[in-house]
Amino acid sequence: MEVFAVEGLPEVRPGDDVAELLVRQADLRDDDVVCVASTIVSKANGRGRSLSSYEPSGRAERIAATIEDIANEEKDPRMAQAILDECEEVLVEAPFILGVTEFGHITVNAGIDRSNVPGADLLLLPEDPTAEAEAICDGIRERTGVEPSVIVTDTSGRPFRLGQRGVALGWDGLPASRDWRGEHDRDGRELEATVQAVVDELAAAANLVTGEGDGGTPAAVVRDFDFGDHAGSEQLFRDPEKDVVRQALREWSHVRD
């Protein structure tokens, strides 16, 4: 399996066609997995925003003040408002805002980026990353006849472990997971619940070659990945009612009486 960055992509602007940009820079194959940073999908979709377009609600003001208080970190109430606007549910208000996006991803600041966004104060995540992955996949097929899989990725933090890693937000052309249930181990014993989130592992692999800073690139190709002869599963985000960590966070508050 090979992982390489797509070099030479331009600064992406609202209205740009990401599929067109990709096929100009890379000779893609049917069994490639093209991992595209959500940043450029958002830029193409015009998801850049200026802070001055946000009018903070009382809640946003209160959250920003609490964060300033306990995290000792400047928090613009308009940024808090932008985050609230992107959240279907807020799980943690302080010391940082942890939110659930409309499409089910749970991440700090609802994934709003303030880096790598020339010409805007902030960049929202794509509204429907799986629809975007499908559109990029379709666009590549229409232009080249080749139909690779596409994953729209982000770099995101996680509980328990420091640092961030690449994750999948949306995908097309492959299942989210390899489902090993019912298959057997080396001892002939049936494997216990084992669902392998391959789209996240592919996104993580891609993130190793794309990077975060000004020297990076916003797309990578995984070539010769073999999904293998396994069942697939489409769901990547936990059912809210069965997610213990989500339940616990709903009940928790950093601010004590």
Q: Which is nearer to Mn ion, 51 or 146 (CB)?
A: 51
Q: Does 225 bind a copy of itself (CB under 8 A)?
A: yes
CB-based contacts of 143: which residues, under 8 Å, 6+ apart?
19, 20, 23
Tokens of 20: 């067109």
Cβ 38 to a copy of itself shortest distance, Å: 15
From the CB of 167, what's the least distance to Mn ion, in Å?
Answer: 10
The answer to the question of residue 86 lying near Mn ion (CB under 5 A) is: no
Calpha distance 8→48 (Å, rounded)? 22
Q: Which of residues 7-26 bind a copy of itself (CB under 8 A)?
A: 11
CB of 146 to Mn ion, least distance (A): 26
Question: Minimal CA–CA distance to 32: which of 231, 172, 185, 230?
Answer: 172
Q: Does 66 bind a copy of itself (CB under 8 A)?
A: no
Which of 135, 218, 120 minimizes the C-alpha distance to 172? 135
Interaction between residue 196 and a copy of itself (CB under 8 A) = yes
Annotated binding site for a divalent metal cation: 113, 154-155, 212
Distance CA 164, CA 86 (A): 21
Contacts of 166 (CB under 8 A, 6+ apart): 35, 153, 154, 155, 156, 200, 203, 204, 205, 206, 207, 208, 210
Positions in 180-219 near Mn ion (CB under 5 A): 212
Closer residue to ligand GDP (CB): 149 or 210: 210
25 binds, among ligand GDP, a copy of itself, Mn ion, none (CB under 5 to 8 A by kind): none
Cβ distance to a copy of itself smaller for residue 35 or 136: 35
> Which residue is nearest to Mn ion, using beta carbons?
155
Task: Give the residue with the Cβ less far from Mn ion, 112 or 147.
Answer: 112
19-28 burial by CB neighbour count: b if 16+ within 10 A, else e? bebbbeebeb
Residues in the interface with a copy of itself (CB under 8 A) total 73
Helix (H, G, I), strand (E, B) or coil at 19: helix
Spatial distance between the Cα atoms of 50 and 186, rounded to a whole number of angstroms? 56
Nearer to ligand GDP, 66 or 217 (CB): 217
- List binders of a copy of itself among 86-115 (CB under 8 A): 92, 95-96, 98, 106, 114-115
User: Which stretches of the chain bind ligand GDP, using CB under 6 A?
Assistant: 9-12, 37-40, 43, 113, 115-116, 154-155, 186, 210-214, 216-218
Helix (H, G, I), strand (E, B) or coil at 234: coil
Based on the shown chain and the rule CB under 8 A, indicate whether residue 54 belongs to the binding site for a copy of itself.
no
β-strand partners of 87: 101
In whole angstroms, how close is the CB of 11 to ligand GDP at the nearest point?
4
